[in-house]
């Protein structure tokens, strides 16, 4: 049971628990790609800019509830980047790992949408194969729900806005935003093997 007294304005204990059993697919996608998103980033000094971003307040939460977890956290602009050794105790993985390869983007209208994170494109086959591999509906919805929970304070909305701006910058080239959103079940009429855009 994760103690919640360190969470500050965001309830990370609840956020973490949302993804205790929820994953992008019903099967373990790591068996297909060999767990490509879990690499030893601490050992790769040249990849110091890679890692999993911690949400505002998450570092303090982790220090409180996982005192035995030797986290390596480095600055990333005004944010904090978590570097792991490529293995972890499942219950201790950060929120960014739990929602990967999606991100709760904050739109200019203030709405949160779960979108494919183009920063995951390089490593994650679920992003590269997004036209053919629909993600679990509950997983996508829960990423959006987590984003809504995270967006309750000015600091947290600023974080989401920063990350959304970076995602939009990547999408100038990758154009993941032009494809279907993560939840989509229906085949495009007349085009076998494709999926049409769905609202959620």
Binding residues for ligand SF4 (CB under 6 A): 24, 29-30, 33, 35-38, 52, 84, 86-88, 93-94, 97, 100-101, 123-126
Least Å distance between CB 191 and ligand SF4? Answer: 25
- Across 70-100, b (16+ Cβ under 10 Å) vs e yields ebebeeeeeebbbbbeeebeeebbbbbbbbb
Cα(143)–Cα(141) distance, integer angstroms: 5
Closest CA to 97 of 157, 30, 170, 161: 30
Nearer to ligand SF4, 39 or 180 (CB): 39
Nearer to ligand SF4, 9 or 26 (CB): 26
C-alpha dihedral, 82 to 183 to 146 to 38, nearest 10°: -20
Least Å distance between CB 32 and ligand SF4? Answer: 6
Least Å distance between CB 124 and ligand SF4? Answer: 3
Nearer to ligand SF4, 126 or 183 (CB): 126
Nearer to ligand SF4, 93 or 180 (CB): 93
Nearer to ligand SF4, 137 or 157 (CB): 137
Least Å distance between CB 18 and ligand SF4? Answer: 15
Least Å distance between CB 79 and ligand SF4? Answer: 16
- 133 close to 180: Cβ distance less than 8 angstroms: no
Closest CA to 76 of 197, 185, 159: 159
């Amino acid at each position: 049971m994760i103690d919640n007294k360190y969470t500050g304005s965001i309830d990370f204990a609840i956020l973490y628990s949302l993804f205790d059993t929820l994953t992008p697919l019903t099967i373990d996608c790591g068996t297909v790609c060999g767990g490509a998103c879990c690499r030893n980033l601490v050992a790769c000094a040249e990849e110091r800019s890679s890692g999993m971003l911690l949400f505002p307040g998450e570092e303090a939460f982790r220090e409180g509830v996982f005192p035995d977890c030797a986290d390596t956290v480095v600055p990333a602009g005004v944010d904090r980047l978590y570097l792991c050794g490529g293995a972890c105790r499942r219950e201790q993985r950060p929120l960014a790992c739990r929602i990967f390869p999606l991100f709760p983007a904050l739109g200019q209208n203030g709405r949160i949408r779960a979108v494919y994170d183009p920063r995951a494109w390089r490593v994650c086959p679920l992003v590269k194969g997004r036209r053919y591999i629909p993600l679990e509906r509950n997983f996508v919805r829960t990423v959006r729900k987590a984003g809504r929970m995270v967006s309750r304070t000015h600091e947290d909305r600023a974080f989401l806005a920063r990350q959304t701006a970076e995602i939009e910058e990547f999408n100038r080239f990758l154009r993941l935003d032009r494809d279907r959103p993560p939840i989509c079940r229906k085949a495009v009429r007349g085009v076998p093997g494709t999926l049409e855009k769905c609202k959620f």
